[in-house]
Chain A
Amino acid sequence: MAKYDKKWEKEVLKIADGVRMRVFQFTVEQNGGYLSQACSSAETFGALYHGLMKLPKIDKPLLPDPWQGVPGPNNPVHTGIKFNSGGKEGYDRFIMSPAQYALVVYAVLIETGRMDESGMEAYNKDGGSVEMIGAEHSPGMEVTTGSLGQGISQASGIAMAYKLKKKKGKIFTFLSDGECQSGEFWEAIQAASFHKLDNMIMVIDRNGCQCDGLMKPVMGIEPFDERFRSFGCECVRIKGHKPLALAEALATPHRGKPLVVITDTSPYHGLTFLKERSPKFHYVRFTDPKQREEYRKIYEEMKKERA
């Protein structure tokens, strides 16, 4: 654990703050966006990309590829893996399951020096790969996951392939909590446990929200951690937004079992003014130009504080 100390945590918190600020900026610029996802997951993404996942160093921040078309007989698959392991032996893989979190991934890639800031010029633009709902061609994404519940199954398949090929490296999957309502998700957990895929690590952003509002009145999933244990996983549940706690959780021995870490997070962490939107956090939309202006002011003040 020596590597993960207070100094490291401070660095992660700085990255997380940068991630939140970037997503905030884009939400105001684009007249709406998936902002609360950045609030709940910025520390998790920061910690994963700042050391918890074993990724090769990238000397010079990369640029997203131009749009190369959808896969087809004359067009091979293009993925965003170059921003992660680049497919190199011995490194970890990263499967980003809830594709609506794409902007958070782009932001963390910039904050950790893996993607050049100018790559965001293509964000949500026609004919660009930096899509609002990311797909496998988007930076940092390795498979197409926007149909919720499928990310974990694909990750399990990759984990199994790593076992068969005796490849080193873990398969990290980032998940949102709403997608864990789907049957496929539990089928995947069942299979991963059954096949003893202990090279699988799942980190779940338990922000308690989904499109229709808070999850509890929409479709409850508690006792969440006990469900995983009863399905044969090792499961650790921690308070979110604490990089050191995440580092410690990921160090939990889990021989012969997949490891699930549930991070209990807040959809307005770091941007407390969002709280008044409760219970509607899923997509931050401005009800009128005045509200957008208010948000812009808050953003600019926060930016100034950081200068």
Chain B
Amino acid sequence: MEILKRVHANNLVKWAKDKPEVLVLSADLTSSCEADSFRDTYPDRFFSMGIAEQNMLAFAGGLAREGFVPYVHTFAVFIYRRALDQIAMSVAYPNLPVKMIGFLPGVTTPGGATHQAIEDTAIMRSLPNMTVLEVGDATEVENVLDLAYKIPGPVYVWMLRGELPRIFNTPMEFKKPRKLSEGKDLVIVSAGLCTEEMLRTTKVFKDNGVDVAMYHVSTLKPFDYPESMKDIKESKYGVITLENHTIIGGLGTCIAESMAEEGIGKKLYRVGINDVFLHGASRPYLMKEYGIDVHALLQTAEKAIGKTLKYTEDDLGEVFIPALHSDAKPEAL
């Protein structure tokens, strides 16, 4: 597996080179959100806003009204929690091209409940005019800036930083999920870093003769995926969703709504954070404790297909767990 460092930092500088209208706003987390290289390369297009996120979001709305395209950088929680009203009224209502780049999704940080974004899709997708994107690997981190840029209105992005694996070799596309395998027994739909966990099960399902259709979703709003709905409809055992997000209002809910609207009467199993807050601990620990890791997925699959899957740890694919301390990020968050 190819592991890359500071993908966003490098990409942002390259991508924004000939786009004078693209500005970066930061709330005292410039290195932590990999906007430091941009700041140093284009100081005139970088604005330090201090630890004052509510103002930053409405300020970005003002810039966007005058034709600029602000890319707001901070930890995700300080965007959608701290500045929600500002986003709703100063950005989403006038449908302005403010691009919100939110870092530290869910279990990726040991910073505790104050730093762990676990309900952002639920909140942001309920805002009219808002688009919600989530990246799952280094390739998608590279693609998402331009994707967000081409969408005329406000865009919220769940972003990844530090050391990242490259899982995908084709570009991320707007409103197009990646179909990673074909199968008629069961459908699994995953997003963000959970896709790595989903892919780890490939051999287990194959060895056990279970045919699984796997999807990786990166556009969470708008959510319109006819092919996956067809697969779910034709599947023997229904669908499992896997997400680094509370099961209320996230990927699982999106799938549930689509299924209901299509009149698909299949079972849906939502594997996600089960309506509780997280706390400060490592990523593998949290994924296990909160039941969003490969084992939770396989247990749910057993429930869905009604039989035990035979496998050992060796049958599970590799997963990349970034070190807590590395030169790819400025702190151990």
Contacts and interface: CB of A to CB of B under 8 A. Distances in A.
Contacts of B51: 148-149, 178-179, 181-182, 210, 219
A67 interface: yes
Interface string A228-263: 000000000000000000000000000000000000
B111 A219 contact: no
Given A133-B333, A178-B50, A210-B28, 13 more contacts: A32-B325, A32-B331, A32-B332, A70-B279, A124-B110, A126-B285, A133-B114, A147-B82, A182-B54, A211-B31, A212-B48, A219-B49, A285-B331
Contacts of A144: 112-114
Contacts of B81: 147
A178 B282 contact: no
A226 B26 CA distance: 27
A161 interface: no
Contact of B111 (A67, A71, A146, A212): A146
Interface in B14-30: 26, 28-30
A67 B279 contact: yes
Nearest to B282: A126
A223 interface: no
Nearest 9 A-B pairs (CB), nearest first?
A219-B50, A146-B114, A181-B50, A126-B285, A131-B280, A283-B331, A126-B281, A70-B277, A181-B51
Interface of B: 26, 28-32, 48-55, 77-78, 81-82, 110-115, 276-282, 285, 289, 325, 327, 330-333
Contact of A183 (B26, B32, B54): B54
A135 B277 CA distance: 12
B54 A135 contact: no
Contacts of A133: 110-112, 114-115, 280, 333
Tell me the dominant secondary structure on chain A's binding face: loop
Nearest to B54: A183
A76 interface: no
Contacts of A134: 112
Contact of B113 (A70, A181, A210): A70
A206 to B, nearest CB: 15
B227 to A, nearest CB: 38
Contacts of B332: 30-33, 132, 283, 285
Interface string A139-175: 0000011111100000000000000000000000000
A137 B112 CA distance: 11
